[in-house]
Amino acid sequence: MRQTCVIGTRGSKLALWQAHTVQKLLQTAFPDVDVEVQTVSTTGDRVVDTPLEKMGNQGIFTKELERALIDGAVDICVHSVKDMAAELPKDCVMGAVLPRADVRDVLVCGPRLTDVHRLEDVPQGARLGTGSLRRMAQLRANFPQIEPKTIRGNVDTRLEKAMGSDYEGAILAAAGVIRMGRANDITAFIPIDQMVPAAGQGAIGLEIRRGDKRIAAMCAAVNDPTTFACVAGERRVMYELEGGCQVPIGAYAHMEGDATVFDAIVLSLDGTRTARSHREADASTSPIELARMVLDDLHAQGADDILASVRAAGFRAASVRTSDVQPAGDSQ
């Protein structure tokens, strides 16, 4: 009897693209296993008229998937890592992370911004849509002439809204726009020094049951060790700062030639207070090790006080257990 592997995913167009990408990789690596895709409706998909920060950040896009995983209805949950709940359930671990796509955010301009080619060109009072407090705070800090405005919906919906009467444009993740075949809608890629990405941005993560050796071995076959290590470093920063996907924190680690490079930022909601770190070390220094240096910088610059002010404003942060971010195949 042939073995099966069931992938759980949200039902959005982008989520299905990601799940089918994982399905093809696993099916190629394990032709004797039937790899199936099953959609699961999540709270974040059902509630589309409430700003994300007002919904809390305890897995609004993942908890139903994780319940299906724990219950055995699915064997792997495929997520955009940046959307994953900050704290993994104790019975779950990260099984693999695929090679990362473009990590940057992008500017998409509507018809009233035809002469704009970068954020510096956006005129006074222009409304840019985003569902991310991280993006809003960095816009307020670096481009005070811009008016960030909450936007919800999948990639296509947000792009359509950016072209309408309520917005002059929008800020989205490059990876999602490109994966949806909408690269021609991108006006500009935003440099990392202007907007630090979210932890895990551009990466697709495979969450599995702790101790499931068969599925862990399958995930190991498609894992990208470098991306996995960088995501682990970024999540370490989120863990230490008790940050979640709806707190204004950015963290991005990558390998650049013979160096490990790490950027991180913590901001107040209005962008007036910032703690920022840029660290580089030789490639023998792991992203987890570099994360410790970055955290020292952020703590010294008042990151804890900044986040306390954010939480006092009503945006509670979830914690992430980096003990659950293990090398692929090591799920015990």
Q: Are residues 292 and 249 in the same domain?
A: yes
Is 330 part of any domain? Answer: no
C-alpha distances (whole Å) from 201 to each of 1, 44, 96, 212, 230 are: 39, 18, 15, 26, 11
Helix H segments across the chain?
13-29, 43-46, 63-71, 133-142, 155-162, 174-179, 213-222, 225-240, 287-300, 303-312
CATH classification of the domain holding 285? 3.30.160.40
Is 194 part of any domain? Answer: no
Is 93 part of any domain? Answer: yes
Q: Are residues 88 and 210 in the same domain?
A: yes
Q: Are residues 307 and 290 in the same domain?
A: yes
Q: Are residues 269 and 209 in the same domain?
A: no
Is 30 part of any domain? Answer: yes
CATH classification of the domain holding 53? 3.40.190.10
Is 137 part of any domain? Answer: yes
Question: What average pLDDT score do residues 34-38 get?
Answer: 97
Catalytic residue among 34, 49, 71, 83: 83
List pLDDT tens digits, range 254-282.
999 999 999 999 999 999 999 999 999 99
Query: Under 8 Å CB-to-CB from 203, ≥6 apart: which residues?
Result: 80, 81, 82, 97, 98, 100, 101, 227, 231
Q: Are residues 6 and 147 in the same domain?
A: no
152 or 169, which is more confident?
A: 169
Tokens of 282: 């030789």
Q: Are residues 66 and 109 in the same domain?
A: no
Q: Are residues 171 and 85 in the same domain?
A: no
Is 198 part of any domain? Answer: no
What is the identity of the amino acid at 189? F
Residue environment code for 18-49, b if the CB has 16+ CB neighbours within 10 A, otherwise e: bbeebbebbeeebeeeebebebbebebbeeee
Q: Are residues 68 and 114 in the same domain?
A: no
Q: Are residues 149 and 295 in the same domain?
A: no
Helix, strand or coil, per DSSP, at residue 277: strand
> Could you list the residue range(s) of the whole structural domain that residue 134 is in?
105-189
List pLDDT tens digits, range 2-29.
899 999 999 999 999 999 999 999 999 9
The residue written with tokens 């991180």 in the block is: 264
Q: Are residues 149 and 279 in the same domain?
A: no
Under DSSP, the state recorded for 169 is: E
Q: Are residues 215 and 74 in the same domain?
A: yes
Active site residue 75: no
Q: Are residues 30 and 175 in the same domain?
A: no
Q: Worst-scoring range by mean pLDDT, 126-130, 176-180, 201-205, 310-314?
A: 310-314
Is 131 part of any domain? Answer: yes
Q: How many domains does the chain have?
A: 3
